[in-house]
């Protein structure tokens, strides 16, 4: 059975440092015998301000982070799913939050633009308005064949909406991905339960690579990258920021991976034994 690897680290505004961390994770995944590596949202950079984000954002054809990762994927013959930023062609003031698939030849073969932007105003906690700086996508990417099964791409805040994962499942997805940078308070409250719920209701593997640690003053991520099987069991997970723990900085966070087998035979058996026959005559299809 193929092995899927999920990696986590603490990205900063340094593309070169982030590339070095991801290259390290790629080699760890290769050494563990993984068939694909899944990396977090915003692996190329997490900026300290909207203006810095715009200055760091580059097309994939010129981004040293993306080009470096493509070269490493080709060198190691290991596919990668990774979250990156791209310029928005319709607005000089916005970017696109993307999840891309880099195949074993180093080519970008699939692309998904995050459709749900993260706007949150938590009293005494995180306050972010991604819709001000990020253009939302307008379509789902059809599931596609990979060495670990048929993959459907989603990103971070998409996790709070069951509709896109259900749509991908109806189109044949066996693995649903959520590269993320969940905040610490929302991660401690909802990360695990939402990932397990999405796996159970789609009867698919859920692979969620996460950022962890303090990226800059005022922004930190929860971690707990994980793989959940179609029964809702966590079959692999990395460390998280515990309740009451002070998030570590990038220099203090050791990049890590965890791996799990993707048992497509078990997935198919479970879908046959516990068929989810939806009643679209009673409620609308979503």
pTM exceeds 0.85, yes or no: yes
Cβ–Cβ < 8 Å for 152, 176: yes
- HSE (side-chain half, CA atoms, 13 Å) at 148: 32
Confidence of residue 204 (pLDDT cuts 50, 70, 90): very high
Burial label for 208, CB within 10 Å (0-12, 13-18, 19+), is: buried
Both structure tokens of 240: 């998280």
Average confidence (pLDDT) over 31-58: 96
| Measured distance CA(262)–CA(229) in Å, rounded | 8
pLDDT at 125: 64
Please check the confidence at residue 121 and state whether its pLDDT lies above 90. no
pLDDT at 126: 63
124-157 per-position pLDDT tens digit: 766 677 888 899 999 999 999 999 999 999 999 9
Please check the confidence at residue 51 and state whether its pLDDT lies above 70. yes
End-to-end Cα separation, the chain, in angstroms: 32
| Measured distance CA(259)–CA(75) in Å, rounded | 21
Q: How high is the mean pLDDT of the chain?
A: 95
pLDDT at 142: 98
Q: What residues are annotated to the active site?
A: 41, 114, 156
Q: Count of CB atoms within 10 A of residue 277's CB?
A: 4
Pick the CATH number of 3-273 from 3.60.110.10, 3.30.230.10, 3.40.50.1370, 3.10.20.30: 3.60.110.10
């Amino acid at each position: 059975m193929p092995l899927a690897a999920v990696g986590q680290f603490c990205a900063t505004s340094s593309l070169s440092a982030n590339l070095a961390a991801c290259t390290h994770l790629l080699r760890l995944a290769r050494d563990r015998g993984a068939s694909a590596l899944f990396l977090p949202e915003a692996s190329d950079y997490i900026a300290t301000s909207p203006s810095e984000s715009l200055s760091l954002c580059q097309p994939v054809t010129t981004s040293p982070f993306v080009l470096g990762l493509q070269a490493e994927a080709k060198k190691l013959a290991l596919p990668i799913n990774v979250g990156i930023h791209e310029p928005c062609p319709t607005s000089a003031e916005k970017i696109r939050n993307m999840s891309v698939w880099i195949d074993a030849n180093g080519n970008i073969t699939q692309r998904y633009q995050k459709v749900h932007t993260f706007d949150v105003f938590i009293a005494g906690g995180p306050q972010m308005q991604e819709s001000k700086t990020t253009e939302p996508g307008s379509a789902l990417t059809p599931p596609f064949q990979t060495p670990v099964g048929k993959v459907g791409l989603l990103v971070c805040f998409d996790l709070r909406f069951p509709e896109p994962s259900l749509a991908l499942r109806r189109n044949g997805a066996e693995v649903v991905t959520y590269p993320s940078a969940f905040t610490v308070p929302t991660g401690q409250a909802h990360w695990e339960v939402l990932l397990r719920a999405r796996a159970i209701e789609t009867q698919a593997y859920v692979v969620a690579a996460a950022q962890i640690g303090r990226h800059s003053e005022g922004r930190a991520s929860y971690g707990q990258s994980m793989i959940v099987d179609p029964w809702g069991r966590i079959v692999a997970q990395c460390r998280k920021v515990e309740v009451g723990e002070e998030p570590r900085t990038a220099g203090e966070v050791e990049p890590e991976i965890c791996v799990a087998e993707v048992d497509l035979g078990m997935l198919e058996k479970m879908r046959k034994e516990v068929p989810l026959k939806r009643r679209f005559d009673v409620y609308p299809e979503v």
